[in-house]
């Protein structure tokens, strides 16, 4: 398990006392995330923002982090995490990049799924919100590339927010992923992403969302994260979920089509999910 290399007094000093640190939310290979309150903004003006403050550990990921920041800077959407502030600071003799995100009250979807499957209406609601987030990103020609339960926060009211754009791919920028490599979470790659194709579109995110929705309804990953099984054949959703609404099963099956052009367009997907929710 990765340990936290930062001391709270050093962090507070590096940020000029502008943040009051709360508990550590997560420690991983890429960084440490605190729940915190931003007392003053970068210009010194008083505020009281509830934030998730992330300090990055791996300087080799600096270019990817910069792209994550650029991808969401100025982008405001209810289904996407909100960037409030970012910068570079020296903490205990270590240069590190920090990002303050608006805190999302709720639970990560992977944590929620550890307790079992979701109801159909809960699943469709999450699908609608993540579709809206993908649509907002695609309007800027950005592909998220890592639609997975760990990157979806579910609020107490059931609304979902897509987080972590560290792997986002802006089609107008040169790729920083090595040739023949891909970025994301195994078990959620679209076939074209698995083949390390760089010219991805929103169809790749739609495929990953299809896997996620199927997982929500099953309560577990449909292939136990075996990517090769997903690549080999399109899952028969109705066979896996015989008691689930036929329209919803058919929609997920189309989202999981092995060929990107045959998956639904974002507008079609949103309309279909809305209709299913209304019918329920």
Q: Which of 170, 171, 132, 167 is nearest to 148 (CA)?
A: 167
The Cα 138–Cα 171 span in angstroms is: 10
Query: Which pLDDT tens digit goes with each residue over 245-260?
Result: 999 999 999 999 999 9
Helix (H, G, I), strand (E, B) or coil at 84: strand
Q: Domain 107-279 carries which CATH code?
A: 1.10.510.10
Categorize the per-residue pLDDT at 178 as very low, low, confident or very high, splitting at 50, 70 and 90. Answer: very low
Most confident of 24-28, 77-81, 96-100, 125-129: 125-129
The mean per-residue pLDDT over the stretch 138-152 comes to 92
Does the pLDDT at position 25 exceed 60? yes
Does the pLDDT at position 130 exceed 70? yes
Say which CATH topology domain 8-102 has: Phosphorylase Kinase; domain 1 (3.30.200)
Query: Which pLDDT tens digit goes with each residue over 71-81?
Result: 677 788 999 98
Mean pLDDT score across all residues of the chain: 89
* pLDDT reported for residue 61: 61
Query: Of 152 and 175, which is predicted with more confidence?
Result: 152
* pLDDT reported for residue 261: 96
Give percent above pLDDT 70 in the chain. Answer: 88
Its pTM stands at 0.87
The Cα 99–Cα 131 span in angstroms is: 25
* pLDDT reported for residue 5: 85
* pLDDT reported for residue 127: 98
The Cα 106–Cα 38 span in angstroms is: 19
Does the pLDDT at position 173 exceed 60? no
Q: Which of 217, 202, 220, 216 is nearest to 260 (CA)?
A: 202
DSSP codes, 123-143: HHHHHHHHHHHHHHHHTTTEE
Domain ranges in the chain with CATH number 1.10.510.10? 107-279
Domain ranges in the chain with CATH number 3.30.200.20? 8-102
* pLDDT reported for residue 180: 39
């Amino acid at each position: 398990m990765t340990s936290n290399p930062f001391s709270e007094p050093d962090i507070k000093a590096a940020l000029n006392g502008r943040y009051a640190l709360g508990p550590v939310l997560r420690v991983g290979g890429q960084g440490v995330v605190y729940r915190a309150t931003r007392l003053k903004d970068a210009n010194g003006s008083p505020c009281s923002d509830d934030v998730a403050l992330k300090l990055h550990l791996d300087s080799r990921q600096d270019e990817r982090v910069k792209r994550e920041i650029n991808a969401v800077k100025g982008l405001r959407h209810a289904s996407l995490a909100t960037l409030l502030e970012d910068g570079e600071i020296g903490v205990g003799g270590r240069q590190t990049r920090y990002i303050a995100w608006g805190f999302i009250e709720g639970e990560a979807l992977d944590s929620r799924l550890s307790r079992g499957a979701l109801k159909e209406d809960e699943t469709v609601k999450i699908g609608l919100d993540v579709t809206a987030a993908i649509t907002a990103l695609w309007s800027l020609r950005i592909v998220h590339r890592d639609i997975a339960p760990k990157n979806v926060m579910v609020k107490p009211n059931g609304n979902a927010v897509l987080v972590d754009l560290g792997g986002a791919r802006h089609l107008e920028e040169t790729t920083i992923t090595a040739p023949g490599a891909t970025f994301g979470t195994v078990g959620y790659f679209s076939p074209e992403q698995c083949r390390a194709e760089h010219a991805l579109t929103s169809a790749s995110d739609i495929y990953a969302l299809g896997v996620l929705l199927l997982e929500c309804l099953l309560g577990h990953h449909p292939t136990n994260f075996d990517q090769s099984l997903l690549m080999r054949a399109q899952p028969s959703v109705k066979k896996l979920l015989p008691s689930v609404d036929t329209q919803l099963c058919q929609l997920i099956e189309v989202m999981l089509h092995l060929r990107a052009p045959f998956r639904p367009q974002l507008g079609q997907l949103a309309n279909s999910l809305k209709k299913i929710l209304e019918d329920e």
